[in-house]
Chain A
Amino acid sequence: MLAYVVRRLSYGALVVLGVLFFLFVLFFAVSTPDDIARRAIGDKAMPEVIEQWKINHGYDKPKWPGPGQWSDNLLVEHYRRMLTFDFGRSDADGTPILDRIAKGAGPSLALTLPMFAIGLVIGLTLSLFVAFFRETYIDKAGVFLAVLGMSVSVLLYIIAGQFLLGKVLKWFPVSGFDPAPGVLWRFLALPVAVGVIASLGSDVRFYRTVFVEEIHKDYVRTARAKGCGEGRIMSRHVLGNAMIPVLTNVVMVIPFLFTGALLTEAFFGIPGLGSLTVDAINANDFSTLRSMVYISALLFVVAQILTDISYTLVDPRVRLE
């Protein structure tokens, strides 16, 4: 297993290095340092101000390695910064990017963790419920609602949630964020509810399919023949044996918990990492965007490796060679 993990980590490292190169080409091919500077400090800026800005932000070097500049160029600097997590300063406002990421991680996790945990519990419970009542009108209605739910854009859930629960029923603030422990839940209730409901359709449909497939297997019939109760069959045997596809689905979501929910954070005014990414896109803050894309890629690679390892935990038959 150790050899497998080392091999996967090596592949992962290569993927990350490739992503970094792709990022460099993408960002620096689209914009020259002059463009980035003008975007940041405006058209009215004098040429010397632009030059100084480029020096302050490290954009005054040549793009590619060349004679006499094998180590002092933007490409090498880009790799050095990313691999050491020294993301530098935001192109838009000069604040240290790592500080902003550290600051945004809390609000993002405060939103995405409950959204993920509650969504998972409700999704699994409802899926077991409709799978248990398979081929009844509850099952059919459940599948219909799930397909309907997953066909609707998340934006609509957000707007409808804000309108119904914030504006018409006045249960929660329409938007906002306050990290104070006593009031935080008040601001999170609506976005979490919206996030859970938005993801419920696809989760229920997927998990139900997995559970129904398991229900038809021999071990379920055997358990039933041995007098095992339906509730126990569903919660212990079916759920336990369906864990591999469930885990695949769950672990792959974990990177996105850290990187935040782009639209939800933007609409509810939550200053998390999703919001940071949207801001960076809107402000052409390329240095922040590069860092966020890099972190996402890194987390994604790690999540993939963790998924493979987790299979051995839930299914003893799986061997990582």
Chain B
Amino acid sequence: MRVVLAVSLVLGVACTNNPYPEKDDGKKVLYAQYHEPPKTLDPAVAYSTNDHVVTGKVYDTLLEYHYLKRPYELIPALAEAVPEPQERADGSTAYRFVLREDLWFQEDPCFSLSGGETRRILAQDFAFELMRIADPAVNSPVIDPFSNVRGFRDFASRLKERRAADPAFGRLPVHEQYREAGGISGVEVLGEREFEVVLETSYPQILYWFAMPFTTPVPWEAIAYYDGQGGRPAFADHPVASGPFMLTRYDKQARFVLERNPNWYGLRRPEWKAPGAVFPEVTGLAPEEAEKFAAYVGKPLPFLERVEYRREKEPIPAFTKFLQGYYDSAGVVRESFNKVIQENDLSEEMRAMGMDLERSVVPAVFYIGFNMDDPVVGRAGGERSRKLRQAMSLAVDVEEYKRLFMNGRGLPAQSPIPPGIFGHDEEYQNPYRRVDLQRAQKLLAEAGYPGGVDERTKRPLRLTFDVPDTSPESRLRFSFWVRQWRRLGIDVELAATTYNKFQEKVRDGAYQIFQWGWVADYPDPENFLFLLTTEMARSVSGGPNTANFQDKDFDRLFAEMKVLPSGPERQRLVEQMRSILERERPWIELFHPEDYALTHAWLRNVVPAGLSIPTTKYFDVDPELRARLRSEWNEPVLWPIFLLFGLAAAVIAPGIVTFYKERQ
């Protein structure tokens, strides 16, 4: 009996599924998970959502988005105000940024290069980062939007030429190279706290780029010090920043930890009550929403002491740990969807655990595209091809696709512009984005393909759907569209290849139909409609207009719309562009994806952002409630150990006895 008690005691103490140290139970720590590690934390390069998990929290920006207002609204962050465009006589536009006073970087050993542990943030640090974006050696993916800055391309060329001509120049510290190369003429530093960005032509969307970590201040010391040599990490793995959190542990394959940055302006100067440093007040919320936030309004941010990220490669263990209370929030995995969501809402079981479900439509669009350079489905076919595309559009049943492959999540798309973005019209119903097989067949006949047979050749119409994935699951998904068109008699063949091969086909223009998607960089219709401009056509400039749609009217309207402030005039232009797309059908708009996020009762203030923007500084947790519920949900079950021993003895003992009896 004593042995059993001793074993029970040892197991009782040792057996626990809690992956965290108990000393953290009472702390305001957010526990989160990630699937893929960030590729880089260099703000000039980091572009993916995985990267932004860290860069969005540690790098502060001149501007940011209001946490609660929709449509999205820019508010000042490191800048004192959102700058107004200043039109100049030479056709250029200037934006003057004035920094808040008393802004500091986080403490870091790199500042030993300038004789300290940290230093003040200067206007020069923003100019330095813009030069890094231009620098060809940095490989920034956002060269294009900044190319409109005066002298941006020239600076890159000068740098490249100097490096090629003089190897000694290339060995200088980067900030010295930039200084010698003369900087970007359109980025004028006017003082320690003031600088101006001059654009060759009007591009109001540039302000959104100043709300992204690409344009964060970067100290030259960090680039010079973190060179990946002598045991020092590379800058891409060691951010030196000024945001509300700082990265204190970065084992990117397994875990990273962010802690409050005491040098962040919101913590150093709470008396400023800066818009991005306190919880915002907003009118017009539903009463239950307003009540949720009431206790937080005006309180200084961030509420959390620490954010712990653990890597989870597989969705099922990750979701299990969420259900055990070891992660504070989670997406809904496909395997558990029916357990979690019932009748389009949280299941009773999840409600009983106190969970909350946050739904948000992602500002993205997925579509089937036609290669408009193709002689059969493209512009060369004229009216005949147009009617073919219209007919094919009328046969595609997105609701059924969502039901079969997406657990019903997502919003059927009527145009390229998703909800939450200016230009989206809730009332708008695209006449070619509903299922109408009769009309589709009529259009097909008018196109010269009655029943899917070419009138001229008397042969069935055969098209090719190029797919960049050879997995069985993808075949199943894409076959769905093929079956839709088969109902009209159109024979579409799936050409599934590897991604590389598909890219090659796209580069060579050897494709007819494809499926693609686009996620917004910023909340503006320009960021979606530019995907269909001639300038961006893949066959013209290698741009993202894979449909190679080229329409002079569309281009003209786009150029006008791009520079207008959001208002009735801009809405009118968007509608005109939309009607061109409606008629021409270079795309069959499919859906805007929908995110489902589950949060535990102890996690507060979670508002789905849609865009990849930092929100964690607004979150709060109730650690007492979390510790209590975790303990209730995770009491170890020990009796099976004794049962197992008993069973083993019961099975083996008679065998041994029999064996020895027989032997004797």
Residues of A within 8 A of B (CB): 30-32, 35, 38-39, 41-49, 52-53, 56, 92-96, 100, 103-104, 107, 133, 136-138, 141, 159, 162-163, 166-178, 183, 186-187, 266-271, 275-276, 278-279, 283-284
A93→B317 contact, CB < 8 A: no
From 5 to 30 in chain B, residues with beta carbon under 8 angstroms from any chain A beta carbon are 11, 14-19, 21
A93 to chain B, nearest CB (A): 4
**Can you report 28 A-B residue pairs in the complex whose CB atoms are below 8 A from each other?**
A30-B498, A30-B500, A41-B141, A42-B47, A42-B48, A44-B47, A45-B139, A49-B143, A133-B655, A133-B659, A136-B659, A159-B316, A162-B320, A169-B638, A170-B15, A170-B16, A171-B15, A171-B17, A171-B637, A172-B15, A173-B321, A174-B17, A174-B321, A175-B314, A267-B313, A270-B254, A279-B253, A283-B36
Q: Specify the chain A residue showing the minimal Cβ separation from B138.
A: A52
Q: Specify the chain A residue showing the minimal Cβ separation from B45.
A: A41
Q: Specify the chain B residue showing the minimal Cβ separation from A38.
A: B503
Contact of B318 with A by CB under 8 A = yes
Contact of B39 with A by CB under 8 A = yes
Contact of B634 with A by CB under 8 A = yes
Contact of B298 with A by CB under 8 A = no
Q: Specify the chain A residue showing the minimal Cβ separation from B310.
A: A176
Binary CB contact string for chain B from 444 to 474 against chain A (1 if under 8 A, 0 otherwise) = 0000000000000000000000000000000
Q: Specify the chain A residue showing the minimal Cβ separation from B639.
A: A169
From 642 to 664 in chain B, residues with beta carbon under 8 angstroms from any chain A beta carbon are 651-652, 655-656, 658-659
Return chain A residues, CB-CB under 8 Å to B251: 271
Partner of A173 from the list B17, B504, B637 (CB cut-off 8 Å) is B17
Partner of A174 from the list B317, B638, B651 (CB cut-off 8 Å) is B317
Q: Specify the chain B residue showing the minimal Cβ separation from A168.
A: B637
Return chain B residues, CB-CB under 8 Å to A44: 47, 141, 544
Taken together as a complex, chains A and B put the C-alpha atoms of A48 and B144 apart, in Å, by 11
Contact of B64 with A by CB under 8 A = no
Q: Specify the chain A residue showing the minimal Cβ separation from B41.
A: A93
B228→A96 contact, CB < 8 A: yes
Return chain B residues, CB-CB under 8 Å to A275: 253, 313
Partner of B253 from the list A38, A178, A183, A276 (CB cut-off 8 Å) is A276
Return chain A residues, CB-CB under 8 Å to B11: 171
Contact of B359 with A by CB under 8 A = no
Taken together as a complex, chains A and B put the C-alpha atoms of A283 and B320 apart, in Å, by 25
11 more CB-based (< 8 A) A-B contacts, given A163-B320, A183-B21: A44-B544, A46-B141, A52-B139, A93-B38, A100-B253, A133-B655, A136-B658, A138-B652, A170-B635, A176-B19, A177-B254
B494 to chain A, nearest CB (A): 21
Residues of B within 8 A of A (CB): 11, 14-19, 21, 36-40, 47-48, 136-137, 139-141, 143-144, 156, 228, 234, 236-237, 251, 253-255, 310-314, 316-318, 320-321, 324, 326, 498-500, 503-504, 542, 544, 634-638, 640, 651-652, 655-656, 658-659
Q: Specify the chain A residue showing the minimal Cβ separation from B662.
A: A136
Return chain B residues, CB-CB under 8 Å to A104: 253
Taken together as a complex, chains A and B put the C-alpha atoms of A169 and B500 apart, in Å, by 46
B312→A52 contact, CB < 8 A: no
Interface centre among B48, B321, B636, B637 (most CB of A within 10 A): B321
B157 to chain A, nearest CB (A): 10
A167→B324 contact, CB < 8 A: yes
Taken together as a complex, chains A and B put the C-alpha atoms of A177 and B313 apart, in Å, by 12
A267→B314 contact, CB < 8 A: yes
B458 to chain A, nearest CB (A): 40
B15→A271 contact, CB < 8 A: no
Taken together as a complex, chains A and B put the C-alpha atoms of A43 and B47 apart, in Å, by 12
Interface centre among A163, A178, A283 (most CB of B within 10 A): A178
A170→B503 contact, CB < 8 A: no
Given A137-B655, A138-B655, A170-B637, A186:B39 Cβ within 8 A: no
Taken together as a complex, chains A and B put the C-alpha atoms of A174 and B322 apart, in Å, by 11
Return chain B residues, CB-CB under 8 Å to A46: 141, 143-144
A170→B317 contact, CB < 8 A: no
Q: Specify the chain A residue showing the minimal Cβ separation from B542.
A: A47
A288 to chain B, nearest CB (A): 12
Q: Specify the chain A residue showing the minimal Cβ separation from B236.
A: A94
Return chain A residues, CB-CB under 8 Å to B156: 48
Taken together as a complex, chains A and B put the C-alpha atoms of A103 and B143 apart, in Å, by 34
A167→B320 contact, CB < 8 A: yes
B311 to chain A, nearest CB (A): 6
B163 to chain A, nearest CB (A): 11
Return chain B residues, CB-CB under 8 Å to A270: 254
Taken together as a complex, chains A and B put the C-alpha atoms of A177 and B136 apart, in Å, by 39
Given A92-B39, A166-B17, A171-B15, A266:B637 Cβ within 8 A: no
A39→B311 contact, CB < 8 A: no
Interface centre among A49, A53, A268 (most CB of B within 10 A): A49
Interface centre among B37, B504, B635 (most CB of A within 10 A): B37
Taken together as a complex, chains A and B put the C-alpha atoms of A313 and B21 apart, in Å, by 47
Given A49-B139, A175-B312, A275-B313, A170:B544 Cβ within 8 A: no
Given A39-B499, A44-B544, A170:B313 Cβ within 8 A: no
B18→A95 contact, CB < 8 A: no
Which 10 residue pairs are nearest across A and B when measured between Cβ atoms?
A271-B254, A271-B253, A138-B655, A173-B19, A175-B317, A35-B500, A176-B19, A171-B15, A93-B39, A170-B636
A94→B40 contact, CB < 8 A: yes
A140 to chain B, nearest CB (A): 10
Taken together as a complex, chains A and B put the C-alpha atoms of A48 and B141 apart, in Å, by 10
B634→A170 contact, CB < 8 A: yes
Return chain A residues, CB-CB under 8 Å to B637: 168-171
Return chain A residues, CB-CB under 8 Å to B40: 93-94
Given A44-B544, A46-B144, A171:B136 Cβ within 8 A: no
Q: Specify the chain B residue showing the minimal Cβ separation from A276.
A: B253
Given A48-B136, A94-B234, A133-B655, A174:B324 Cβ within 8 A: yes
A162 to chain B, nearest CB (A): 6
Return chain B residues, CB-CB under 8 Å to A45: 139, 141
A266→B313 contact, CB < 8 A: yes
Return chain B residues, CB-CB under 8 Å to A141: 651
A236 to chain B, nearest CB (A): 20
B15→A49 contact, CB < 8 A: no
A43 to chain B, nearest CB (A): 7
A175→B253 contact, CB < 8 A: no
Return chain A residues, CB-CB under 8 Å to B136: 48-49, 52
Return chain B residues, CB-CB under 8 Å to A284: 499
B655→A136 contact, CB < 8 A: yes
B500→A271 contact, CB < 8 A: no
Return chain A residues, CB-CB under 8 Å to B634: 170
